[in-house]
């Protein structure tokens, strides 16, 4: 069977795109370089290594709107795919320790309201103390909280999308590394067995988007997580709590605490997935000061994964400006799991129904960097 559409990358976005396209009757082939099953936590895909945070609180209208659309789909996810996405709206708490951070969080609230989110709000230190009593609030001036934010299960979502796509006839091939080559104003897909053609080819290869043979402005950034042993010291409904100054954040997952802090990359290999252990001690020092109950809690494991950063930390979405059958959904810059439901739906609209999508995605067009029109946002969110 010759596919109508080839999706490169069977991660969470590729699987979502395959679900929405095949549910509308398209013949879809997904090529995934990894041999591992979609639910394997040791797979290299970023979705396998993600924390599973979901938020609508962002500093730009387009990201707020993508999250609102994703939330609508998450609320029907089990009906759509047969799998529970695990959406738990326990909230995100952003914490400011300086006046400029507080102002930036408040400015983001205005952007969020304009984009249609009305339930996010500013919170005082005493409200923060009741939302998350485990935090040391020394130096915290205030923050913001949104009760629609919370958590999702990335691997379950990936499984739901992929299984549903297969039920609708999509074919997934694992262990197949794809490349792209151009022929006139179109692209062809090269795999070890030969050359494939399709009406549409979707690049959904996450952090590897720029390695297929065509330039894509996406660079990998290593992100690391430390997971404590199981504990009942933190409640299972604790909101994600993020300090704006260092980016340190924590959440509770399966009765463990997941601890994160962005850190400079020391590996010379951009796709290296080994955690850099020099990062751990200073991160834990901050964790113990800011969340004192963590002090005597051993770390059971650490792991690393890759963010897929674009120059303005917003996704690239749309038709390639030069190649008529190439579509891009890349560069989500660490937000791709939560936005995957929206991207799948919108990509199916773009490919099958023509130029317009139900959410205006012009601002995310891939050619915006060449046109010197990057998105200017709020650097905190």
Ligand X SMILES: Cc1cc2nc3c(=O)[nH]c(=O)nc-3n(C[C@H](O)[C@H](O)[C@H](O)COP(=O)(O)OP(=O)(O)OC[C@H]3O[C@@H](n4cnc5c(N)ncnc54)[C@H](O)[C@@H]3O)c2cc1C
Which residue minimizes CB distance to ligand X? Answer: 11
Minimum Å distance from CB 256 to ligand X? Answer: 15
By three-state DSSP, how is residue 20 classified? helix
Phi, psi of 246 (to 5 degrees): -110, -15
State the Cα–Cα distance between residues 32 and 45, nearest whole angstrom.
10
Considering beta carbons, is residue 143 or 305 the nearer one to ligand X?
305
Q: Specify the residue, 5 or 12, whose C-beta has the smaller distance to ligand X.
A: 12
How large is the C-alpha radius of gyration of the chain?
20
Residue closer to ligand X, measured from CB, 3 or 52: 52
How many Cβ atoms from other residues are within 10 Å of residue 373's Cβ? 12
Tell me the C-alpha distance between 220 and 161, whole Å: 24
SS3 for 314-341 is CCEEEECCCCCCEEEEECCCCCHHHHHH
Q: Give the distance from CA 183 to its chain's centroid.
A: 32
Q: Which is nearer to ligand X, 89 or 142 (CB)?
A: 89
| Phi, psi dihedral angles at 190 (to 5 degrees) | -105, 125
Tokens, residue 343: 């991207």
**Complex with ligand X: residue 144 or 205, whichever CB lies closer:** 205
Residue 102 or 257: which CB sits closer to ligand X?
257
Shortest Cβ distance from residue 146 to ligand X (Å)? 15
Phi, psi of 70 (to 5 degrees): -60, -40
What is the three-class DSSP state of 12? Answer: helix
Q: In what order do the strands lie in the sheet with 326-330?
A: 171-174, 28-32, 5-8, 200-203, 326-330, 316-319
- Supply the minimum distance, in Å, between the C-beta of residue 14 and ligand X: 5
Q: What is the DSSP letter of 239?
A: P
* Residue 87: CB minimum distance to ligand X, A: 12
Q: Measured between alpha carbons, how far is 223 from 264 in angstroms, rounded to an integer?
A: 9
Q: Which CB atom, from 145 or from 307, has the smaller least distance to ligand X?
A: 307
Query: CB of 144 within 8 A of CB of 105?
Result: yes
What is the token pair recorded at 82?
A: 């047969």
Contacts to ligand X by CB under 6 A: 8-14, 31-34, 44-47, 49-53, 177-178, 204-208, 212, 223, 225, 305-308, 332, 334-338
Q: Which residues contact 227 (CB under 8 A, 6 or more apart)?
A: 253, 256, 257, 258, 259, 299, 300, 301, 302, 303
d(CA 18, CA 356): 19
Task: Between 143 and 210, name the residue whose CB sits nearer to ligand X.
Answer: 210
Q: Residue 248 CB, nearest distance to ligand X (Å)?
A: 14
CA atoms of 77 and 85, how far apart (whole Å): 6
Cβ 124 to ligand X shortest distance, Å: 26
Minimum distance of ligand X from residue 129's CB (angstroms): 25
Count of C-beta atoms within a 10 Å radius of residue 279: 20
Q: Which residue, 142, 152, 147, 136, is CA-closest to 92?
A: 147
The nearest distance, CB 294 to ligand X, in angstroms, is 19
Between residues 95 and 316, which has the closer beta carbon with respect to ligand X?
Answer: 316
Cβ 223 to ligand X, closest distance in Å? Answer: 4
Minimum distance, C-beta of residue 258 to ligand X, in the bound complex (Å):
9
Q: Which is nearer to ligand X, 52 or 142 (CB)?
A: 52
């Amino acid at each position: 069977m010759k596919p109508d559409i080839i999706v490169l990358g069977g991660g969470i976005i590729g699987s979502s795109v395959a679900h929405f396209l095949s549910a509308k009757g398209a013949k879809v082939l997904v090529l995934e370089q990894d041999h591992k099953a979609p639910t394997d936590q040791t797979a290299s895909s970023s979705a396998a290594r993600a924390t599973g945070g979901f938020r609508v609180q962002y500093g730009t209208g387009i990201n707020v709107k993508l999250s609102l659309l994703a939330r609508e789909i998450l609320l029907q996810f089990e009906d759509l795919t047969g799998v529970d996405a695990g959406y738990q709206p326990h909230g995100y708490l952003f914490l400011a320790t300086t006046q400029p951070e507080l102002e930036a969080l408040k400015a983001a609230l205005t952007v969020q309201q304009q984009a249609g989110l009305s339930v996010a709000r500013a919170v005082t230190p005493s409200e923060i103390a009741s939302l998350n009593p485990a935090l040391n609030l020394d130096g915290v001036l205030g923050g913001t909280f949104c009760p629609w934010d919370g958590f999702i299960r990335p691997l379950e979502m990936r499984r739901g999308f992929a299984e549903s796509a297969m039920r609708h006839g999509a074919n997934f091939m694992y262990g197949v590394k794809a490349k792209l080559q151009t022929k006139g104003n179109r692209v062809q897909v090269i795999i070890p067995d030969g050359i494939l053609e399709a009406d549409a080819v979707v690049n959904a290869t996450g952090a590897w988007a720029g390695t297929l043979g065509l330039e894509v402005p996406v660079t990998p950034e290593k992100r690391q997580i430390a997971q404590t042993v199981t504990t009942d010291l933190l409640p299972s409904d604790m909101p994600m709590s993020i300090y704006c100054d260092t980016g340190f954040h924590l959440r509770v997952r399966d009765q463990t605490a997941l601890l994160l802090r962005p850190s400079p990359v020391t590996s010379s290999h951009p796709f290296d997935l080994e955690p850099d252990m020099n990062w751990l001690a200073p991160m834990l020092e901050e964790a113990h000061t800011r969340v004192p109950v963590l002090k005597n809690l051993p770390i059971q494991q650490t792991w690393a994964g890759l963010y897929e950063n674009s120059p303005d930390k917003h996704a690239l979405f749309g038709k390639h400006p030069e190649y008529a059958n190439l579509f891009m959904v890349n560069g989500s810059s660490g937000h791709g799991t939560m936005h995957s439901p929206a991207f799948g739906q919108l990509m199916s609209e773009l490919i099958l129904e023509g130029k317009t999508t139900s959410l205006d995605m012009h601002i995310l067009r891939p050619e915006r960097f060449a046109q010197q029109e990057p998105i200017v946002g709020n650097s905190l969110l």
